Structure 1
Amino acid sequence: MDKIYIIEDDQTIRNEIVQALKKWNFQADWVRDFQTIDYEIKQQSPDLIVMDITLPFYDGFYWTQKIREFSKIPIIFVSAADMDPNAIRAISIGADDYLTKPFSIAVFISKIQAILRRTNQNEYLTEALNFQSFSLNIITNILKSQNKSIKLTATESTILKLLFLNPGQIISKRKIIQAIWQNGDFTDENILNVNMSRLRDKLSQIGLEPV
């Protein structure tokens, strides 16, 4: 099981990240002493680090530089600060990716998956998200049941990931559109409606109740 280490001083945000990671079968831990982050990283040996910029004592840029002195552990920055020029600075000192708050949990998980695949940190990478008897492979975008499978488009897969990650909850169109945009695809409400209709048809074919 991959271990994700969270360097975030906002307890609410940290708890949301921990809950999301656990849903995806990641092991989640977080910093205890913001003055000895480098020491804790050495002790914990995580597979990936989630790093905020604004922290007590020293900022995320400082700690990334310290970590890069002894480790190549992947680092994802998450921050409410403007993406430019902070993202450029973060990447230039050794970060692997950058997300602005608030961010889509589905996109966040996908980025973790992609980074771990690239760095070959763990051969047992979780690729599937399960709901009832259905399994969605987030790499191939194939949805499977016990005896059927169907190929989804990238946009349809993004929508279904949000629904799988938030069972029993109402997901607003705005949140879905934001997730699709962050994946690099443009959509608006009309295009989303078309994708939702196609997704309902595909889910019906495989026996999953329409969303």
Structure 2
Amino acid sequence: MATIFIVEDDRSITNAMIKEFNKWHYQAQTVSDWDNVVLEIQHFQPDIVIMDITLPTFDGFYWTNQLRQVSDVPVIFVSAADMDPNAVRAIATGADDYIVKPFSLNVLISKIQAVLRRTKRETIPVETLAYEDCQLNILTNELTHQDSAVKLTPTEATILKILFLNSGKLVTKQQLMQNIWQGGLFIEDGVLNVNISRLREKLAQVGLRDRLVTERGRGYRLVTADEI
């Protein structure tokens, strides 16, 4: 399990990150003492650090400079500031990557995974996503529920992966098509509808028929067993 230390003072952003990291089985820690950020990072020994620029005491550039004196842990800068010249300064300070707010959490996860692979810190790849009592193996496209399992097509698995990562939230048809078919500009709704229909049949085979709910005219949502 990869570990991530978050240096960000916006609680809503921090909470959103932690929730997303938990889905990928990453363990996250946040700052409790803004006067001793580097000491807290050293104590936690993370595999990667997410570093904001504007912080309560010293800025992210200062803390990264201090961190680089004692550690080579990868750092990804996250900031609302413009990409240039802050991105150049961040990399010069010792950052490994840079992402500008507002950003997609999926993009942040992709950057984290890329940095971990590059630095060989992610020794055990994440293979399974979980939603309540359901597990989706993203390498084999196998869905399991209790003692049952079913094999999904790559497209069906991608749809379910997106729904898992947005569990409880509405996912629009446009969002699905953009993620699955590189923007979805030339894909008709009917193609998605066919794949959703086939996915429902697979879900029924493992006792999950009612977990995928259609909100007419809006999109799709995964619901818990208690909501059925």
Return the TM-score normalized by structure 1: 0.77
**For 1:68 and 1:192, how far apart are their aligned partners in 2?**
50
- Counterpart position of 2:154: 152
Which string of whole-angstrom CA distances, capped at 9 and with x for unpartnered residues, describes residues 99-121 of structure 1? 22222222222322332233222
Work out the CA distance in 1 between the residues paired with 2:160 and 2:111: 17
Could you tell me how far apart the structure 2 residues matched to 1:47 and 1:55 are?
A: 22
User: Percent identity between the aligned chains?
Assistant: 41
What is the match of residue 113 of structure 2? 113
Equivalent residue number for residue 49 of structure 1: 49
How many residues align? The count is 202
Matches for 1:30-45 after TM superposition, within 5 Å? 30-45=30-45
Mapping for residues 29-178 of structure 1, pairs under 5 Å = 29-131=29-131, 132-137=133-138, 140=139, 142-146=140-144, 147-152=149-154, 157=158, 160-172=160-172
Q: Superposition RMSD on alpha carbons, in Å?
A: 3.1
CA–CA separation in structure 1 for the residues paired with 2:182 and 2:190: 13
Inter-CA distance 145–73: structure 2 relative to 1 (3 Å threshold): same
Match of 2:217 in 1: none
Structure 1 12/27 Cα, relative in aligned 2: closer, same or farther at 3 Å? same
In the alignment, which residue of structure 1 is the partner of 2:28? 28
TM-score, normalised via structure 2 length: 0.72
Where do 5+ consecutive residues of structure 1 fail to align?
none
Contact 2:6 2:31 in 1 (8 A): yes
1:157-192 per-position Cα deviation (integer Å, ceiling 9, x unaligned)? 3x54331122221124676678x49xxx85155548
Unaligned residue ranges in structure 2 (runs of 5+) = 213-219, 221-228
Instruction: Give the 3 Å change call, closer, same or farther, for CA 106–204 of structure 1 in structure 2.
Output: same
Higher CA-based Rg: 2
Pick the structure with more strand per residue.
2
> Given the superposition, is the C-alpha separation of residues 174 and 55 from structure 1 closer, same or farther in structure 2, using an over 3 Å criterion?
farther
1:113–1:125: 8 Å Cα contact kept in structure 2? Answer: no
